[in-house]
Chain A
Amino acid sequence: GENVEQHPSTLSVQEGDSAVIKCTYSDSASNYFPWYKQELGKRPQLIIDIRSNVGEKKDQRIAVTLNKTAKHFSLHITETQPEDSAVYFCAASYSGWYGQNFVFGPGTRLSVLP
């Protein structure tokens, strides 16, 4: 089955700096790669996603890149702000007619220091 690794497990950056979180997946059939942000005591919420037919996607300060050949994808946050502090989860998913499973990485705790 699918296996998703995520690095680093913790990341501290100064406010205004960039943060990069990297994930690798094992199943080449996976075709959907979302990123979720979970603030302390809250539910996970989608911040950005990318499908396998796209190499890069950007939404304001957040971008995701996908390398299907190497089976890895990354989250880039620029100009970090204290409210970006949270745990971030990547996931790999295969969406097909017979099912859709989501496999999440173990998470990265991002701390943005003022």
Chain B
Amino acid sequence: EAQVTQNPRYLITVTGKKLTVTCSQNMNHEYMSWYRQDPGLGLRQIYYSMNVEVTDKGDVPEGYKVSRKEKRNFPLILESPSPNQTSLYFCASSLRDRGPGANVLTFGAGSRLTVL
């Protein structure tokens, strides 16, 4: 089944304790991205990647890191989490080129993170 898998789905942590949210897709998509969803603010892009070793900042990158060493994986790293990073996080992927399905984001199930 074609899918985007995120882990963990739920996490409660404390300020300053480094954590990683993993994201993996099995659709051979070039494009992968991370979003955070907060009430009233919609989905805000954190980072995106056009392909392996190519990443760029979205609208809210502060406090986050990413890496794209393999095409299928795009982990989100919070080096020193703070309470304002408490949010629902979504990973998504898509094909890049034009044609059927291009740019259509397939989202993971979401990861709810609470930072105390």
Contact = CB atoms under 8 A, between A and B. Distances in A.
User: Do A and B make up one complex?
Assistant: yes
Interface of A: 1, 6, 9, 32, 34, 36, 43-46, 49, 89, 91, 93, 95, 98-107
A89 B59 contact: no
Given A102-B33, A102-B45, A106-B42, A43 B96 contact: no
A89 B42 contact: yes
Contacts of B90: 43-44
A103 B59 contact: yes
A105 B104 contact: no
A100 B108 contact: no
A37 to B, nearest CB: 11
**Chain A binding site: helix, strand, loop or mixed by DSSP?**
strand
Nearest to B41: A106
A1 B59 contact: yes
Interface in B1-51: 31, 33, 35, 40-45, 48, 50
Given A1-B59, A34-B104, A101-B58, 15 more contacts: A9-B40, A43-B90, A44-B90, A46-B105, A95-B102, A95-B103, A99-B48, A100-B48, A100-B50, A101-B45, A101-B59, A102-B33, A102-B43, A104-B42, A104-B44
Contacts of B56: 99, 101
Contact of B96 (A36, A100, A107): A100
B42 A107 contact: yes
30 contacts: A1-B59, A6-B42, A34-B103, A34-B104, A34-B105, A36-B105, A43-B109, A44-B43, A44-B90, A45-B107, A46-B105, A49-B104, A89-B42, A89-B43, A91-B43, A100-B31, A100-B48, A100-B103, A101-B48, A101-B56, A102-B43, A102-B48, A102-B105, A104-B43, A104-B44, A104-B45, A106-B40, A106-B41, A107-B40, A107-B42
